[in-house]
Chain A
Amino acid sequence: MPVSERNGTKVWQRRTGRESLFHWVLWLIGVAVFAYCWQQISNATTWFFVWDAPRIAGDIWTRATPPKWEYITQLGKPIWDTLNIATLGTIISLVLAVPVAFLAARNTTPSRFIIRPLALLIIVSTRSINSLIWALLLIAIIGPGVFAGVVAIAIRSVGFCAKLLYEAIEEIDETQVEAITATGASRWQVMAYGIVPQIMPAFAGIAVFRWDINIRESTVLGLVGAGGIGLQLSASLNVLAWPQVALILLVILAAVVISEWVSAKVRGAII
């Protein structure tokens, strides 16, 4: 226990002298890095605009309220598109994620040194790039529209679903697999009767969870031209039609809240 002496009496300390020195150096470096970052941000900012911000915010608020309620008649199709992008994207991604997950899980992968790293590479690279970037790329390749959005969401979700799924596969109970193997089942039968029933609840949970996230992401995909309600948002922003923007934001908020509620309900029923 670190103890220091003050006026002849021993006083308890949390850290030894070396430890506290180490902590101070760490904090000093941290503060210096932050100060540098802040200075860079500050240099790149026009501070006049920032001081003017409260007035601008008030101005936008007065322009945006009340929302243009009659515009909602034109939002039906975009919302339907958004729902389709999220749902079809999730389905495609699940179809792709299942084999990747089985190849990536330590206990089911056919080869630990060649195929498993490849599967992990697929998982990392699809996961670390945002769906908006995938959408940008796909629009350049296959043209703007809902289809690009579906594919972007699908690719982005593969890594996420496969990662969670392979972790679920690695955590299965081996005794059940052994029991099925002992009956003389083939490799595929072991998979179907020993492994799949164990990961089914996790799979359903992941699917609904990702669907919820995808609804959120697909609402903004239109900003880069990949269909859905984001298209209307960017069109309204471009012509500075703030009442329409306000209504679209409200609709997006409602969609997000509803999807989160649905996913929480379904996950609650499964688990």
Chain B
Amino acid sequence: MSSELQALIGKNWKKPPFIQRPWLRWAFILGFVVYLIAAFLTIDVNWSRVYEGLERGKQFVLAFTSPDFTSRSGDIWEGMLESIIMTVAASVVGIGISIPIALGAARNVAPLPVYLICRGIIAVSRALQEIIVAILLVAIFGFGPLAGFLTLSFATIGFLSKLLAEDIESMDKVQAEAIRASGARWTQWINYGVQPQVMPRLIGLSMYRIDINFRESAILGLVGAGGIGATLNTAFDRYEYDTAAAILIMIIVIVMALEYLSGVIRARVQ
């Protein structure tokens, strides 16, 4: 028995701390407390305004029990349709563009210069947020769903290419080599050696991205890039909580349906 264990015998057991080194633990806790105090001091909350707002908050929660789908049904229907159209078009174009970029960003498929260019595209697309891209594109292309469509396509490229490229990089080399040994051209090699291995993941990721694109398309309207967001914003501005509740319920239902659908499809392909 080691001396360390010997020294512990007879003493009460104590739970080992999450961070082992004591000075680091205490520095962490102290820094955290100091930060919290500083943060709370700089946030000025207007409590009387909050108290007044509780009444409106109650109205909003109650509005969920009686959502109003009818009185603005034209606007809701138009906005929803536009959101769905933007989602579908942007997903198709985004996925279509991201496949070649993913091939270029996989080190075992592409030569170094192509790899660096494609990784650069992915990094730019991931660093810029949807809503900021949407603001710039609205300024350039004008109001309307085209700006939203371009924003979502751009965001899809960064997301899908990165994850797909990682999957291509971790694929089984043996199968790809077998296809190449049979004398396949490069395109045939990609089609029969690489594509079957990454297809399940590609379908799963695409479904997930369609889901994300729909959620994002709901806010692009706030900056004028088309979709349901504009209708939702107007409903909030006019304090028409029952209409807003109706829109939110529709968004939640569609997202749930998409999630269920993607679960079914992913279970089938994997």
Contacts and interface: CB of A to CB of B under 8 A. Distances in A.
Contacts of B89: 34, 37-38, 41
Interface in B56-114: 56-57, 60, 81-82, 85-86, 88-89, 92
Contacts of A41: 85-86, 89, 144-146, 149
Interface string B217-260: 01100110010010011001101000010001001100110010
Interface in B23-60: 35, 39, 42-46, 49-50, 53-54, 56-57, 60
Contacts of A34: 88-89, 92
Given A41-B146, A224-B222, A140 B140 contact: no
A136 B223 contact: no
A237 interface: yes
Given A136-B233, A249-B132, A56 B50 contact: no
A129 interface: yes
Which of B44, B89, B144, B256 is the most central at the interface, judged by chain A CB atoms within 10 Å of its CB? B89
Interface residues of A, number: 54
A38 B149 CA distance: 10
A260 B56 CA distance: 37
Nearest to A132: B219
B174 interface: no
Interface of B: 15, 18, 35, 39, 42-46, 49-50, 53-54, 56-57, 60, 81-82, 85-86, 88-89, 92, 127-129, 131-132, 135-136, 139-142, 144-146, 149, 215-216, 218-219, 222-223, 226, 229, 232-233, 236-237, 239, 244, 248, 251-252, 255-256, 259
- For the complex of A and B, the 6 pairs showing the least CB-CB separation, nearest first, are A128-B255, A49-B142, A142-B53, A37-B89, A45-B146, A141-B53
Interface of A: 30, 33-34, 36-38, 40-42, 44-46, 49-50, 53, 56-57, 60, 77, 80-81, 84, 87-88, 124-125, 128-130, 132-133, 136-137, 140-143, 145-147, 150, 193, 200, 216, 219-220, 223-224, 237, 249, 252-253, 256-257
